[in-house]
């Protein structure tokens, strides 16, 4: 089946569009409609006109940031973009993964396609061509304060467009110049506003936020399914998820989670009541209230992210139609910073929830008759085997690290660049933190998923499971055998983790 195509034409793109191209599930095309091309090129022509009239345009006939009072003679204006991306080539840390880099490039392309950045259509074509051929700039993760946009990381995109620095191509890090020569790609000589237009925006934090959103949405569903299995394994009271109960506290997200668990447990108004254990511990009873916060967070995070994704967010804004140059601060990543700081807190709460469910499953004082540490060993072998004992310790470590990383990045603004950038968003750090919390929470989920399946099997309840829960148990057992005698679990945990990150299992509609 052929891949669908995401078309960049200045119209709205969704988080799903960005993720689909980033994961190479859909291809990318740039509109070649005459009206679109003319609208983009009109901004570049307007900049040229201003230069001919010797108008003063920030970043075109002036220096950058605090250096905006420095006038650039017209004969030197053409050199300025190269200086901009050159002196910003100081990023450090790990490099963004291929998926993240594709998302960054597409998000920046979409912003430039709004037609308010004063760049040529040719520049949009160059970015599109790199994505289509999977020529990915090697972009360090660290070095952005999130206002004046993602200057340092995006300088690596600007430099690659001009044929400089390094790219990842066909699985190898190579000099951009060599790849361009091999593929007969002409490096761009950036026009006066183009270096600033590429770099002075929120593409990195927004791209990472798109990917974080998608992972968070899936993790919410997975944590719900795990909670349903945990309720079965721990002989939980299914009526904690009663429809009438949740109607009196009508947060949409927790109502949705409770409904999913009800369906998983086959609980209906007609079912005979069996709630001999009056109240379960909070990590079962309050699962909808905890997971529901994430479900209620996702819609407004989506609004924040997609508004940013479909905005012109550089400076200055070029209104070619009205012939205005509008100086402002649209590069400020405050909305993404807040969304990511908020999301990482609710995600870490999922890690904490699952850690507590894991603790109940392991401890014979609380697991209602299951063997200690969910050991599957029998008779004389029982004393030698340790079940999920070490896995639980690892879960505690991952949870603690996730919780530690919930400190909001957005409150750590630092005044920089001669106090021109005296209040900054830290949006990119917030987004990277959110990814790290997601990684750790996915690790917790991979461990608990194996544990709850073993718990259900030890309880000998498989035949009583709903079809959906039975499917999940079967899918896990297709990949990982029960833990009977001690074995190293690392590779199996890594396999389940990979499947989670690929969203391998369909969970809820």
Measured distance between the N- and C-terminal CA atoms of the chain, rounded to whole angstroms: 23
Distance set, CA 400 to CA 222, 228, 392, 429 (Å): 20, 24, 12, 19
- Tally Cβ neighbours within 10 Å of residue 175: 14
**pLDDT for 279-299, tens place per residue?**
999 999 999 999 999 999 999
Which residues 6+ apart lie within 8 Å of 116 measured at CB? 43, 312, 317, 318, 319
Share of the chain above pLDDT 90, in %: 80
Determine if residue 54 is left, alpha or beta; phi over 0 gives left, psi from -120 to 50 gives alpha, anything else beta.
Answer: left
Among residues 58, 64, 169, 239, the one annotated as catalytic is 58
The arithmetic mean of pLDDT across residues 295-317, rounded, is 97
Q: Is 31 in contact with 121 (CB distance < 8 Å)? A: no
Tell me whether the omega of the peptide bond preceding residue 316 falls within 30 degrees of 0, making it cis.
yes
Instruction: Tell me how far apart the alpha carbons of residues 498 and 446 are, in angstroms, rounded to a whole number.
Output: 9
pLDDT tier at 350 (50, 70, 90 boundaries)? very high
**pLDDT for 435-462, tens place per residue?**
999 999 999 999 999 999 999 999 977 6
Is 1.10.275.10 the CATH classification of the domain at 5-201? yes
According to the model, what pLDDT value does residue 376 have?
A: 80
Find the range with the poorest average confidence among 71-75, 118-122, 212-216, 249-253.
71-75
According to the model, what pLDDT value does residue 250 have?
A: 96
Strands 140-142 and 172-175: unpaired
pLDDT tier at 413 (50, 70, 90 boundaries)? confident
CATH of 209-317+332-501, one of 1.20.200.10, 3.40.190.10, 3.40.50.880, 3.30.420.40: 1.20.200.10
Strands 166-169 and 92-95: unpaired
pLDDT at 66 exceeding the cut of 60: no
Find the range with the poorest average confidence among 42-56, 146-160, 322-336.
42-56
Kindly report the three-state secondary structure assignment for every residue of 237-284: CHHHHCHHHHHCCCCHHHHHHHHHHHHHCCCCCCCCCCCCCCCCCHHH
**pLDDT for 255-277, tens place per residue?**
999 999 999 999 755 555 555 67
Average pLDDT across the chain, whole number: 92
pLDDT tier at 70 (50, 70, 90 boundaries)? low
Instruction: Tell me how far apart the alpha carbons of residues 407 and 409 are, in angstroms, rounded to a whole number.
Output: 6
According to the model, what pLDDT value does residue 340 have?
A: 98
**Beta bridge partners of residue 166, listed in sequence order:** 175
The arithmetic mean of pLDDT across residues 15-41, rounded, is 98
Domain chopping of the chain, boundaries? 5-201, 209-317+332-501
pTM of model > 0.75: yes
According to the model, what pLDDT value does residue 1 have?
A: 41
The arithmetic mean of pLDDT across residues 5-33, rounded, is 98
Which residues 6+ apart lie within 8 Å of 478 measured at CB? none
Instruction: Tell me how far apart the alpha carbons of residues 174 and 165 are, in angstroms, rounded to a whole number.
Output: 9
According to the model, what pLDDT value does residue 48 have?
A: 87
Kindly report the three-state secondary structure assignment for every residue of 368-396: CCCCHHHCCCCHHHHHHCCCCHHHHHHHH
According to the model, what pLDDT value does residue 58 have?
A: 62
According to the model, what pLDDT value does residue 235 have?
A: 93
pLDDT tier at 359 (50, 70, 90 boundaries)? very high
pLDDT at 79 exceeding the cut of 50: yes
pLDDT at 476 exceeding the cut of 80: yes
**pLDDT for 377-410, tens place per residue?**
786 776 677 889 999 999 999 999 999 999 999 9
Residue 58 annotated as catalytic: yes
Instruction: Tell me how far apart the alpha carbons of residues 22 and 28 are, in angstroms, rounded to a whole number.
Output: 10
Determine if residue 96 is left, alpha or beta; phi over 0 gives left, psi from -120 to 50 gives alpha, anything else beta.
Answer: beta
According to the model, what pLDDT value does residue 64 have?
A: 57
Distance set, CA 374 to CA 32, 448, 461, 491 (Å): 60, 11, 15, 19
Share of the chain above pLDDT 70, in %: 92
């Amino acid at each position: 089946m052929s891949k669908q195509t995401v078309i960049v034409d200045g119209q709205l793109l969704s988080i799903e569009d960005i993720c689909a191209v980033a994961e190479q599930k859909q291809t990318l095309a740039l509109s070649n409609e005459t009206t679109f091309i003319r609208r983009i090129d009109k901004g570049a022509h307007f900049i040229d006109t201003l230069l001919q009239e010797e108008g003063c345009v920030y970043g075109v006939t002036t220096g950058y940031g605090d250096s905006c009072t420095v006038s650039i003679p017209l004969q030197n204006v053409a050199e300025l973009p190269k200086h901009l991306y050159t002196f910003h080539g100081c990023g450090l840390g790990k490099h963004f993964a291929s998926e993240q880099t594709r998302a960054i490039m597409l998000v920046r392309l979409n912003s430039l396609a709004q037609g308010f950045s004063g760049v040529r259509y040719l520049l949009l074509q160059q970015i599109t061509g790199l994505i289509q051929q999977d020529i990915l700039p090697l972009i360090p993760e660290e070095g952005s304060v999130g206002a004046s946009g993602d200057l340092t990381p995006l300088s690596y995109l600007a430099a690659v467009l001009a044929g400089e620095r390094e790219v990842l191509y066909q699985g190898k890090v190579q000099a951009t110049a060599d790849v361009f020569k091999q593929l007969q790609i002409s490096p761009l000589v950036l026009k006066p506003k183009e270096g600033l237009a590429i770099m002075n925006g929120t593409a990195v934090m927004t791209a990472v936020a798109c990917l974080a959103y998608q992972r968070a949405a899936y993790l919410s569903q997975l944590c719900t399914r795990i909670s349903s299995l945990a309720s079965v394994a721990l002989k939980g009271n299914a009526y904690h998820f009663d429809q009438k109960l949740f109607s009196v506290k009508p947060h949409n997200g927790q109502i949705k989670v409770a409904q999913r668990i009800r369906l998983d447990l086959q609980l209906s108004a007609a079912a005979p009541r069996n709630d001999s254990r009056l109240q379960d511990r909070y990590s079962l009873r309050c699962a909808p209230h905890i997971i529901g916060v994430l479900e209620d967070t996702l819609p407004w995070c989506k609004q924040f992210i997609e508004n940013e994704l479909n905005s012109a967010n550089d400076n200055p804004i070029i209104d070619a139609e009205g012939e205005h140059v509008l100086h402002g601060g649209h590069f400020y990543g405050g909305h993404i910073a807040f969304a990511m700081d908020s999301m990482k807190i609710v995600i870490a709460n999922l890690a904490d929830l699952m850690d507590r469910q894991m603790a109940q499953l392991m401890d014979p004082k609380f697991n209602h008759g299951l063997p200690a540490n969910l050991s599957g060993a029998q008779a004389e072998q029982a004393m030698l085997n340790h079940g999920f004992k070490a896995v639980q310790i690892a879960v505690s470590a991952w949870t603690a690290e996730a919780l530690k990383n919930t400190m909001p990045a957005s409150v750590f603004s630092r005044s920089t660049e001669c106090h021109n950038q005296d209040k900054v968003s830290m949006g990119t750090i917030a987004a990277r933190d959110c990814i790290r919390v997601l990684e750790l929470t996915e690790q917790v989920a991979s461990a608990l998923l194996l544990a709850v399946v073993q718990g259900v099997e030890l309880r000998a309840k498989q035949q009583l499971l709903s079809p959906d829960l039975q499917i999940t148990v079967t899918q896990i057992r297709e990949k990982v055998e029960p833990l009977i005698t001690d074995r190293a679990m690392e590779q199996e945990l890594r396999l389940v983790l990979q499947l989670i990150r690929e969203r391998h299992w369909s969970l809820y509609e």
